[in-house]
Amino acid sequence: MKLRLLASTPAVETLIATAMLTTTSGASPSSLFHRLSANPTKVAETVGRIEVQHGSILEHNRLDWLLEAREGEVLKILLANRFFSVTRLGSDSWLLSANLRTILEYQVEGDEFSGLLMSSIENLIPSAYAFGRRKA
């Protein structure tokens, strides 16, 4: 099995912080997003407080991968979590996408695919990566 990240929503952690503060502060989401975009320290601090119970804040993004896997392996992934989207590109080649909540929730499987997912976001979404590792 091979997994390669192809594309992602930009500024995923800024969007997570924006979602967190939108729900609990009186500030508007657009002004929060623009203020946070200029303040990576505040973003890291806010995202560092993620609680898994409030998973919806992790859904404002989408990541796309090229997955090379056999049909049975893809079926196993889809049976474990219905929030992955898959399009067949070739016999063992798939376009796969999901949001960060799905990635983190998949970690309970503890299989090869969960490890590949986490590795693919290590540099892109470092705070969420650290959170996912703690939960695992």
Binding site for another protein (CB under 8 A): 6-11, 15, 18-20, 22-26, 28-30, 33, 56-57, 59-64, 66, 85, 87, 89-90, 93, 95, 97, 99
CA distance linking residue 55 with residue 37, whole number of Å? 22
Nearer to another protein, 99 or 127 (CB): 99
Q: How far is the CB of 54 from another protein (least distance, A)?
A: 9
H/E stretch holding 8:
strand 2-8
Strands in the chain per DSSP E: 2-8, 63-68, 85-90, 93-98
Q: How far is the CB of 67 from another protein (least distance, A)?
A: 12
Nearer to another protein, 31 or 133 (CB): 31
Q: How far is the CB of 90 from another protein (least distance, A)?
A: 7
Nearer to another protein, 30 or 119 (CB): 30
Site of tokens 């063992």: 92
Q: How far is the CB of 122 from another protein (least distance, A)?
A: 18
**Distance in angstroms between the alpha carbons of the first and the last residue of the chain:** 21
In a 3-state reduction of DSSP, which class is residue 110? coil
Nearer to another protein, 81 or 85 (CB): 85
Look at the chain and count its residues.
Answer: 136
Q: Contact at 8 Å (CB) between 65 and 102?
A: no
